[in-house]
């Protein structure tokens, strides 16, 4: 699979950036970029590191937005602010940083990172568990497309 000249020029930095943006509240699928680069013959360990670190950094920036943002202002912008927020507050109270393992998940992962920050869940275990979940996802993508098979 041939990547356009833009991705060839940006290389691993472009993958890092795509993975970072994909972990924010902006919609972007970094798995497709990773798979395309793997199929184009890029070195798998470098791809894994760039994608995992970029996505982790983006996820932690979303966590920081929740943690350092105005809780009242963020709560007003959340869907179904009352009952839905209370449900997530209870989940964060029960599962705490373990929810960070799900920050890789499509549709809800970025929201989980934001809510973990909003509910002031301790950042160290969130950072560790978020990193593990995101790295596992990228390892699976690389395994599926073949470089590590």
First-to-last C-alpha distance (Å) of the chain: 18
CA 83 to each of CA 32, 45, 89, 92, 122: distance values in angstroms, whole numbers, following the listed order: 35, 43, 10, 14, 24
pTM (2 d.p.): 0.83
Judge contact between 115 and 88, C-beta under 8 A.
yes
Segments forming the whole domain that contains residue 30: 5-145
Number of domains in the chain: 1
Per-residue pLDDT of the chain (149 residues; tens, 9 = 90+): 445 555 556 899 999 999 999 988 777 788 989 998 999 889 999 999 999 999 999 999 999 998 898 766 666 666 555 676 777 777 777 778 898 999 988 878 888 999 899 888 999 999 999 999 999 999 999 999 985 54
Token pair recorded at residue 2? 């041939």
């Amino acid at each position: 699979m041939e990547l356009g000249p833009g991705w060839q020029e940006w290389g691993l930095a472009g993958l890092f950036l795509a993975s970072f943006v994909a972990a924010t509240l902006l919609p972007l699928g970094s798995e497709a970029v990773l798979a395309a680069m793997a199929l184009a013959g890029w070195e798998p360990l470098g791809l894994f590191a760039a994608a995992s670190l970029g996505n982790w950094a983006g996820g932690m920036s979303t966590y920081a937005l929740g943690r350092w943002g105005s809780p009242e202002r963020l709560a007003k912008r959340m869907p179904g602010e009352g009952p839905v927020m209370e449900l997530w507050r209870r989940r964060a109270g029960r599962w705490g940083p373990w929810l960070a393992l799900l920050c890789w998940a499509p549709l809800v992962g970025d929201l989980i990172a934001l809510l973990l920050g909003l509910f002031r869940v301790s950042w160290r275990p969130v950072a560790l568990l978020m990193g593990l979940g995101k790295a596992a996802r990228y390892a699976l993508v690389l395994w599926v497309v073949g470089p590590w098979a």
